[in-house]
Chains A and B, each alone.
Chain A
Amino acid sequence: MKIYNKKGFYCGLTFWACGVLNLVLLFTGFLTMFWFWWADTALMFLMGGFWVFRALSREKSRRDLTENWKLGGTVIYNKTGFFDGLFLLLCAAGSMVTALTKDLGWRQHVFTVLFLYFGVDRVVRAVTLEDAQKDLIEERDERNRMVALKSQAMSFRIVQTVSLLLAFFLVLIGGKINQLDLVSAGAGAFLCFVISVFAELFTRKYYEKHS
């Protein structure tokens, strides 16, 4: 089995993960058993399957990576942007439906408006040639990529250091004042640190081999 379109493949996995999250929220009672959520979950699994199987097909992946899609008379110039926009619109719809069944306060309305605004903006930009070109240039720009890599690496290092320091202090203070809760929280923070160390080791080994 070979993945021909990695972006599409991970996009599909993300949809599946969202579907699983929906199911968990439904069965734990956070989301009301409402037809919309079942439809939404089904849509997530369908979209996930669509992308994953498409990414495994050589011919379809070649077309996805090289050709623009046509939706009726509209050409989609930036597929990633288009699907980002659709995802945000789906979130907005989800937020609106939740508002009908459960009142989560004014923050939810703010989120709905933000989801709608950015969703529509992304979709419109993806089907407008000039804006799509600008977005693609920004997305593929080598300096932007370097800045993203550097900031991600620095964030990782900060999180790793903070987890270790937090673990140390929580265990130390928890042990001094005999608070098992603090010691447990410290153990959790230490687990995060250990995971980050192993993640770094494995990713380093992977990139040493593939670069």
Chain B
Amino acid sequence: MKTRVRELRTAAGLTQQQLADRVRVSARTIISIEKEQYSPSLMLAYRLSEVFGVTVEELCCLRENRELEDQGYEDLQ
């Protein structure tokens, strides 16, 4: 899933390890989220959005991701 974690982390001047420590996950998880290989759980998304001061919707690009998902279903029809 596409997220804005890398963009917001860089803007906040945090390293991946520092962000991982703040939200209590491993640095590997942050790396995977940034590479779009792993979708964070709702709780982790909430913790991340609290750190960056944005909403979960903005952090996880929910509108954009929903449109992509809908496109996938429409392609099936």
Contacts and interface: CB of A to CB of B under 8 A. Distances in A.
B32 A143 contact: yes
**List of 7 A-B pairs having minimum Cβ-Cβ separation, nearest first:** A143-B29, A141-B26, A141-B25, A142-B41, A143-B38, A137-B24, A138-B26
Nearest to B23: A137
Contacts of A138: 26
Interface in A101-159: 137-138, 140-144, 146
B4 interface: no
**Per DSSP, are chain B's interface residues mostly helix, strand or loop, or mixed?**
loop
6 contacts: A137-B26, A141-B25, A141-B26, A142-B25, A143-B25, A143-B32
Interface residues of B, number: 11
Contacts of B54: none
Contacts of A140: 24
B44 interface: yes
A144 to B, nearest CB: 6
A140 B38 CA distance: 16
Interface in B26-77: 26, 28-29, 32, 38, 40-41, 44
A114 B58 CA distance: 49
A138 B28 CA distance: 10
Contacts of A144: 26, 28-29
A140 B29 CA distance: 12
A142 B46 CA distance: 14
A138 B27 CA distance: 10
Nearest to A143: B29
Nearest to A140: B24
B25 to A, nearest CB: 5
Contacts of B44: 142
Nearest to A138: B26
Nearest to B44: A142
A13 B50 CA distance: 42
A199 to B, nearest CB: 28
